[in-house]
Amino acid sequence: MSNFKIAAIPADGIGPEVISAGLDVLKALGKVMGDLSFDVTHFDWGSDYYKTHGVMMPEDGLDELKKFDAIFFGAVGAPDVPDHITLWGLRLPICQGFDQYANVRPTRIIPGIQSPLRHVETGDLDWVIIRENSEGEYAGSGGRAHRGMPEEVGTEVAIFTRAGVTRIMRYAFKIAQSRPRKLLTVVTKSNAQRHGMVMWDEIAAEVAAEFPDVTWDKILVDAMTVRMTLDPQSLDTIVATNLHADILSDLAGALAGSIGVAPTANIDPEGRFPSMFEPIHGSAFDITGQGIANPVATFWTAAQMLDHLGRGDAANRLMTAVEAVCGAGVTTPDVGGTATTKEVTDAVIAHLEGRNS
């Protein structure tokens, strides 16, 4: 019997709509499995909270979250609050404070969703991108001087540490090793970035020696965009820096048919802190409140959460239902369908319960 304590932070835009759909599906899944339940606590943190309190979450927010097994996160971003405030006020403090240094982004073509690539079908594109999530280009190191003056200067310094690079490489090799193809591609830019990226390459080679059964190769990030587009079958597990993987994962989402179905997990592989699971799509203010947000990314990240919590059986069951529903054409408008969020959610629940409507 597993009972998990989940912190739900739906936050902004369509976040509350998709998180509520995700929680409905998890509840139904728990009932069907019979030995799985969730004890969910909601937090109202986000941009509305910011407008009232001047902060995105209370000062002791992380202490509150520490008590949970996992965090189920919606989206942050509001049209009337600057993005760097919403981001650095909630999501990044959680990622950094809980040392969720591995960002895991699976991509595959879900049945019923069309890849924009000709001749590429479900099964041809099955990747996991491992994004370094604690340092690199997004470490927050830098500053501005002489603001507004002609001589103004802004620096944004990429930080690569031996400890940080080694741990993400080890994590990526382990994920590659756990997948049938045991194949890892290390993304780099060590021709132009001759310090941090050269160290990155050296550490990749050192860590590779610990995983003799994993086949690995190395590719420059610009060439990687070409390979992802023209030869998607040649890739399986991919590891890249914070910035490189940020960009490549958007490309991956597009090549798989829609960024609207892409999930992500912010993992503390050592399990010292709760990990955080979220859809990649963001707050999507243009469709907020219309009931047509695509809940598939949230269902998929719920499956990642179950996997992380040691319930791979439940994760598989959930993904089977999601793929069947999408394959039957029950999809939202962003991926060419006509269904509402609720219709997709109800269809997934019906499939879980064996009522294949």
Among 126, 132, 246, 346, binds Mg ion (CB under 5 A): 246
73, amino acid identity: F
Compute the distance between CA of residue 292 and CA of residue 57 in angstroms, rounded to an integer: 28
Neighbour tally for 60: CB within 10 Å: 9
Q: Residue 83 catalytic?
A: no
Q: Which amino acid is at 310?
A: G
Catalytic residue from among 218, 250, 334, 342: 250
In the bound complex, what is the minimum distance in angstroms from residue 136's beta carbon to ligand IPM? 11
Residues listed for the chain:
357
How many residues touch ligand IPM (CB under 6 A)? 3
Q: What is the rounded CA–CA span in Å between residue 302 and residue 69? A: 13
Region 215-274 residues binding ligand IPM, contact defined as CB under 6 A? 246
What character string, x for contact with ligand IPM (CB under 6 A) and - otherwise, covers 51-90? ------------------------------------x---
Q: Respond yes or no: is residue 250 known to be catalytic.
A: yes
Please identify the residue of the shown chain whose CB is closest to the bound Mg ion: 246
Tokens at 278, concatenated: 């979220």
Residue 280 or residue 347: which is nearer to ligand IPM going by CB? 280
Which of ligand IPM, Mg ion, none is residue 87 near (CB under 5 to 8 Å by kind)?
ligand IPM
Q: What angle do CA 243, 248, 250 make, to 5 degrees?
A: 105
> Which of Mg ion, ligand IPM, none has residue 309 at its interface (CB below 5 to 8 Å by kind)?
none
170-194 residues labelled b (16+ CB within 10 A) or e (exposed):
bbbbbbbeeeeebbbbbbbbbeebe
Based on the residue annotation, tell me whether 222 is a catalytic residue of this protein.
Answer: yes
Given 44, 63, 222, 313, the catalytic residue: 222
By CB under 5 A, the count of residues binding Mg ion is 1
Spatial distance between the Cα atoms of 142 and 121, rounded to a whole number of angstroms: 43
Distance CA 177, CA 199 (A): 23
Subset of 276-305 contacting ligand IPM (CB under 6 A): 280
Smaller CB separation from Mg ion, 77 or 112:
77
> 237 has which bridge partners?
128, 184
Question: Minimum distance between the CB of residue 280 and ligand IPM, rounded to whole angstroms?
Answer: 5
- Residue of 12, 69, 171, 189 with catalytic role: 189
For the question of residue 189 being annotated catalytic, the response is: yes
The reply to whether 101 belongs to the active site is no
Q: How far apart, in Å, are the Cα atoms of 172 and each of 43, 181, 183, 187, 201?
A: 32, 14, 10, 12, 14
Q: Which residues form the interface with Mg ion (CB under 5 A)?
A: 246
Q: Which residues form the interface with ligand IPM (CB under 6 A)?
A: 87, 246, 280
Residues annotated as catalytic (active site), given as ranges: 138, 189, 222, 246, 250
